[in-house]
Amino acid sequence: MNTIDFTTIDLSKEAPVTEPDRQYYFIAKAREYVQKQSEELGRALTFCVTTFGCQMNARDSEKLSGILEQIGYVEETDEEKADFVIYNTCTVRENANQRVYGRLGQLNRVKKQNPHMMIGLCGCMMQEPEVVEKLKKSYRFVDLIFGTHNIFKFAELITTRMESKRMVIDIWKDTDKIVEDLPSERKYSFKSGVNIMFGCNNFCSYCIVPYVRGRERSRNPEDIIREIENLVADGVVEVMLLGQNVNSYGKTLKEPMSFAQLLQEIEKIEGLKRIRFMTSHPKDLSDELIEVMRTSKKICKHLHLPIQSGSTRILEKMNRRYTKEHYLELVDKIRAAVPDISLTTDIIVGFPGETEEDFLETMDVVKKVRYDSAFTFIYSKRTGTPAAVMEDQIPEEVVKDRFDRLLKEVQSISSEVCSVYTDTIQEVLVETVNDHDPSLMTGRMSNNLLVHFPGDKELIGKIVPVKLKECKGFYYIGERVPATE
């Protein structure tokens, strides 16, 4: 991307048909419109991208920001002051949709005072036909609507909107297309998310993701390696490999390659210090992957392995395709191979038909595995999923009681598990100045635990040894120690 001079692209010709050249053409075209408007206003045009949802969305937002900056916009953190506001939406829970509608109502008021302002909506929520119909009917002031499959077309869609002066809607039902080499503006200089695949084939009965993200499709390993090599050359020391289920990576490639094999190739990249990945589905976690994690010098000592429920009966209703016993066997294998691994998980409480006995099975898994931390969720009925129409929806007060009991157990175990590192020296990747105390730096251990310690911002992006003095439950207070030769 750094080598492309958009001013040399001949806009008198037709737009290229092949990607990414077609998008480079539209970036150049949109630049002219933005430049003209900037001259009329006597200032640079600004943008604000707001991300709802997962790390996949966060990575998509970096791509949106990168394209906007190439077009000539300057970032503005206050959306009410921005000339172009874009919401990258999530739809895992229905209340996420309501938040977006509420924020749009506020933006409508702002837009009436700034008629040149543009509003864009993209992401998972836009893949729902009823959402798009509602926007067309009740939110006519929105300028641009697109989904999860055609983010690469962002510059082209902006150009279409600037030329037509009308609402532009471009939703794809599905795609097998992956477009490489588009601009991206990273949030951090020293770490980055890297998509290795898109979509999901699992169809868990509570989850809308396969319907809005489409079928699984893996990126070519050469493209992934090239992207990471470029990131490392640009100062990145840690990558997070992203996919709805990274363990099934490679199944759609012409020449199949397993996730474990991909990790081995990434491990060879010089200058890369740390490799993380998420999310791992237990049904696909192979012995080969466990062996690669055991021998790796770069894969972080952290595995996020969602259980969702400890009851085999409920797991079957969830269409998770593993049993409680299989999950516990997996944990034993992982711990035998990587004894100091940090295990985290997701748990849903109150799934339709969950009995007290089912819930106690979940509590049993929590006590046996002893997670470093767990993301606990009250089941949220998601329209459009099989679980939403299941009988035996659990009363709210019962779910709340179970949730509180689970949370108490998880927190009690977490504080015990995390405290084992007290008085040890650990390698910490320094990420930022502490939010509450500017004399402290905040960093992350290989096992994903946060550490706060005295230091200065010159350390950001470096991996430094820190002695852990005091465990505060989910984080440590530490002090930096001199690096040993």
Task: Tell me which residue of 232, 154, 248, 222 sits closest to 192, measured CA to CA.
Answer: 232
Task: Answer whether 452's CB lies under 8 Å from 478's CB.
Answer: yes
**What residue numbers does the annotated binding site cover?**
54, 90, 124, 200, 204, 207
- Between β-strands 450-454 and 440-445, what pairing exists: parallel, antiparallel or unpaired? antiparallel
d(CA 26, CA 11): 9
Q: What is the DSSP string of 57-82?
A: HHHHHHHHHHHHHHHT-EE-S-GGG-
d(CA 436, CA 446): 23
Question: Which amino acid belongs to residue 375?
Answer: F
Burial 49-83 (b: 16+ CB within 10 A, else e): bebbbbebbbbbbbbbbbbbebbbbeebeebeebb
- Between β-strands 46-51 and 274-278, what pairing exists: parallel, antiparallel or unpaired? unpaired
In Å, what is the CA distance from 76 to each residue of 255, 318, 332?
A: 44, 42, 48
**What residue numbers does the annotated binding site for [4Fe-4S] cluster cover?**
54, 90, 124, 200, 204, 207
d(CA 290, CA 294): 6
Give residues with Cβ within 8 angstroms of 210, minimum separation 6.
199, 200, 201, 202, 203
C-alpha gyration radius of the chain: 24
383-386 own/partner pairs: CB under 8 Å, 24+ apart: 383/94, 384/128, 384/208, 384/211, 385/205, 385/206, 385/207, 385/208, 385/211, 386/205, 386/319
d(CA 46, CA 76): 6
